[in-house]
Structure 1
Amino acid sequence: MNVLASKEQLRASFLRWALFTVPLIVLIGFAAGQLGGPNTAWFAGLTKPGIYPPPAAFGIVWSILFVAIGLALALVASAWGAQGRGLALIVFAIHFIGTQSWTAVFFGMQDMIAGLMVLGFGIASLAVALALIWRVRRGAVYLLLPYLAWLCFAGVLNYQFITANPDGGPRGGNGAETRVEL
């Protein structure tokens, strides 16, 4: 019998990894969210696209996605001995850290075009990561598909912000304007 580990040992390995990866992903997401946010005069002054969801939806969706991402990573990380496991984890880590910079770019730097480029990187790098993860744990890919869908939606929404606000929105950090009449 060529069994490396029992089902109980594999389940315990997954649970140990999940206790690490889920809080880690939530912490990274929370930290990224602190680098900017929609509570600025600049964002308030932007014309919102028709598909812009209620602001509360973002917190709910991201919370669910972060837990699913953490569980998917635990599935991959607990696949000891699986060919390509390390590469899949590295590529996903690069993807995730890079994509989390969107908040700082879009809200912090107030650069919608660069934000769209970050999302383009995120979608492309996630596609590569999903192909690598597929070889290790297919169930992890299924957990990550809603995340891919949300990134695609975010890309469309970001693009619509650009088209609805071709001038980039109000500038000056606080959204104040100075008008001089002669």
Structure 2
Amino acid sequence: MVMKKIITFLICLIIPLAVGGISGFATVTGIESWYSTINKPFFNPPNWIFAPMWTTLYAIMGVGLYLIWQSPKSESRKNALIVFGIQLALNFLWSFLFFYFESPGIALIEISVLWIAILMMIVFFRKVNITAGNLQIPYLLWVSFASCHLVAKLISIP
């Protein structure tokens, strides 16, 4: 029983970390080429902060997923898992839209939808497990910051 929980926990961690790792390739490609040439707002963090921050956020998503997965089966649990999948897919897509396809306007629309999906995930997670929901708050805050950063870039705030 303990081994099954450990394996489930590892799978729950690997899912978002793998998604983040794959989308990270699009990010690295964009940072090394296009992103390094654009004007960034004064509050742009240094590039080195992004990898540890996103790794931490993906790990937190995995812990939240595990807490939801371990909860008793219910309609609320099912809905929480669906919303988790939607937000993870949107998260994956954003890196490609912004960094790989170099489309900040489309990325702004998409990150707005992602923000709503993260907020919904927090609400749905909290219905099943309050801790799982609260763990996602730093993720929402980071995406909020990224959204402000993107708006500033689009309107050319120095």
Return the TM-score normalized by structure 1. 0.79
Among candidates 109, 115, 132, match of residue 107 of structure 2: 115
Among candidates 50, 55, 59, match of residue 67 of structure 1: 59
- Cα 1:118–1:19 change in 2 (3 A) is same
- Counterpart Cα distance in 2 of 1:14 and 1:131: 25
- Describe how 1:32-71 pairs up with structure 2 within 5 A: 32-36=23-27, 37-40=30-33, 42-71=34-63
- Counterpart Cα distance in 1 of 2:141 and 2:77: 24
- Cα 1:142–1:12 change in 2 (3 A) is farther
Which residue of the partner structure matches residue 127 of structure 1?
119
CA deviations on 1:52-77 (whole Å, 9 max, x unpaired) are: 10000001101111111100100001
- Describe how 1:78-117 pairs up with structure 2 within 5 A: 78-117=70-109
Which residue of the partner structure matches residue 6 of structure 2?
15
Structure 1 runs of 4+ off > 3 angstroms?
A: 11-16
CA deviations on 1:129-163 (whole Å, 9 max, x unpaired) are: 21111110000011111001001001001111111
Among candidates 114, 118, 142, match of residue 150 of structure 1: 142
Structure richer in helix, relative to its length: 2
Using the TM superposition, give the Cα deviation of residue 164 of structure 1 relative to its aligned residue in structure 2, in angstroms.
1.4
Which residue of the partner structure matches residue 31 of structure 1?
22
Give the SS at the match of 1:38: helix
Aligned-CA RMSD value: 1.7
- Cα 1:74–1:156 change in 2 (3 A) is same
Using the TM superposition, give the Cα deviation of residue 15 of structure 1 relative to its aligned residue in structure 2, in angstroms.
3.5
- Cα 1:14–1:29 change in 2 (3 A) is same
Task: Confirm or deny: 8 A CA contact 1:35 1:103 kept in the other structure.
Answer: yes
Gaps of 5+ in 1: 1-8, 166-182
Q: Which amino acid aligns with 2:120?
A: V
- Counterpart Cα distance in 2 of 1:68 and 1:43: 27
- Counterpart Cα distance in 2 of 1:86 and 1:129: 12
Task: Confirm or deny: 8 A CA contact 1:113 1:162 kept in the other structure.
Answer: yes
How many pairs does the alignment contain?
A: 155
Using the TM superposition, give the Cα deviation of residue 22 of structure 1 relative to its aligned residue in structure 2, in angstroms.
0.5
- Counterpart Cα distance in 2 of 1:69 and 1:141: 10
Identity among equivalent pairs (%): 23
Task: Confirm or deny: 8 A CA contact 2:57 2:138 kept in the other structure.
Answer: yes
- Counterpart Cα distance in 1 of 2:123 and 2:3: 26
Task: Confirm or deny: 8 A CA contact 1:102 1:115 kept in the other structure.
Answer: yes
Larger radius of gyration: 1
Which residue of the partner structure matches residue 130 of structure 2?
138
